[in-house]
Amino acid sequence: MNKATSALITGLTLMAGGTAMAADVEVKITNLTQGIYFTPLLVAAHSSDAHLYQIGSKASEQLQAMAEGGDISGLADVLSGIDASAAANPAEGLLAPTAFTMAMVESSETNSTLSIVAMILPTNDGFVGLDAWPIPTEAGTYHIYLNAYDAGTEANNELVVDGSGAPGSLGIPASPGMAPGAQGSGVTSEETNMMVHIHRGNLGDDEATGGKSDLHNTVHRWLNPVAKVTVTVK
């Protein structure tokens, strides 16, 4: 970068800073679980009246696509439609247990809240989420702990089925890490709470073949919180 460009950018930043309180916001996301993977994360600074999800409310079809199959493109489109500052897939793939990733977004007077979502695997429609957290205007480092949610859109049958990531297709699309069991009979065929709610956790079982679940009851469980977020407002 030459000096002239640098000066121009500095000038613009100062102008923007004087009116819009724009700030670079660094977001570090750590997967706190022992055996659960996060699919591509979506991190965004957006207007305070927008929500990727709301607990106690029905999931949008874009949220359903994310929670059932890890597809964040629909939510990313919604965010770009409202001029949000978004970072899609900062980990460039799965975020493994205990691993962390960094994302950068920009807050402003209008994009004043932070949201984060990613599907958690192996689950039917579980996701980790942060819903419209007010970004502090004061520079500093802030810590937030996130819970695991159930989108309420798919029965938690706990059967791993190739290609079941599409909305409405019953099953868990993949089980990264420890290979799943096989030929489970299914934990349940009903989703009774159809609102976004706190995930009750996986059941799993101790049978590699058969049993109710394809998941392992000593590996594929968690307790909240499932993620730590460190936000640095520059």
Partner 1 sequence: MKALKLCVPVFAGLLLAGCGGDDNDVMLETPTPPAAEEIMLKVTAVNLTNGQPLSPIGIALHKEGQFWQIGEAASAELETLAEGGDNSGLLGLDVVMMSSSAAAPLAPGASQELMLTTESLEDYKLSVITMMVNTNDGFTGLNAMDVSNLAEGDSISMRTHAYDAGTEENTEAQGTIPGPADGGEGFNSAREDMDKVAMHPGVVGNEDGLSSSVLDSTHKFDNPLMMVTITRMK
* Smallest separation, CB 177 to partner 1 (Å): 21
- Interface residues with partner 1 (CB under 8 A) are 55-56, 147-148, 150, 152, 156, 187-188, 190, 192-195, 197-201, 203, 212, 217, 223-224
> Of 85 and 156, which CB lies nearer to partner 1 in the complex structure?
156
* Smallest separation, CB 200 to partner 1 (Å): 4
CA distances from 79 to 107, 111, 132, 222 (A): 14, 11, 13, 30
Residues 6+ apart with CB under 8 A from 173: 68, 69, 70, 121, 160, 161, 162, 163, 164, 165
The DSSP result for 89-145, as a single string, is -TTSS-B-TT-EEEEEEEE-SSS-EEEEEEEEES-SSEEEEEEEEEPPSS-EEEEEE
Token pair in block for residue 52? 């990727």
* Smallest separation, CB 47 to partner 1 (Å): 18
> Of 71 and 205, which CB lies nearer to partner 1 in the complex structure?
205
> Of 37 and 222, which CB lies nearer to partner 1 in the complex structure?
222
> Of 15 and 195, which CB lies nearer to partner 1 in the complex structure?
195
* Smallest separation, CB 203 to partner 1 (Å): 4
